[in-house]
Amino acid sequence: MILCRQPPHGSVCPLTHSTRAPQPAAAPAPAPRRCERLAAIPDRTTKEKFQELEVGIDLHRVIAEISGNAMLHGMLCGILDKCQHYVWTELLWLDEWKIAREEHAEIVEAICAGDAARAGTLARAHVRGSRENVLRLLQAKSDYQSFLAKAS
Q: What is the pTM of this model?
A: 0.61
pLDDT band at 87 (very low <50, low <70, confident <90, very high): low
Name every residue whose Cβ is closer than 8 Å to that of residue 8 and which is 6 or more positions away in sequence.
21, 111, 112, 113, 114
Distance CA 138, CA 83 (A): 13
Domain boundaries, the chain: 31-151
To the nearest 10°, report the CA torsion of 27, 33, 39, 42: -110
C-alpha distance across the termini of the chain, in Å: 49
**How much of the chain exceeds pLDDT 90, in percent?**
11
Question: What is the model's pLDDT at position 94?
Answer: 57
Query: What would the pLDDT profile of 19-43 be if each residue is shown by its tens digit?
Result: 334 444 444 347 777 777 877 888 8
Q: Would you say residue 91 has pLDDT above 90? A: no
Q: What is the pLDDT of residue 121?
A: 96
Least Cα distance to 103 among 86, 91, 88 occurs for: 91
Q: How confident is the model at residue 125 (pLDDT cuts 50, 70, 90)?
A: very high
Buried b (16+ CB within 10 A) or exposed e, 39-57: eeeeeeeeeebebbbebbb
**Counts for the chain of helices (H) and strands (E), in that order:** 5, 0
Give pLDDT, residue 74.
Answer: 92
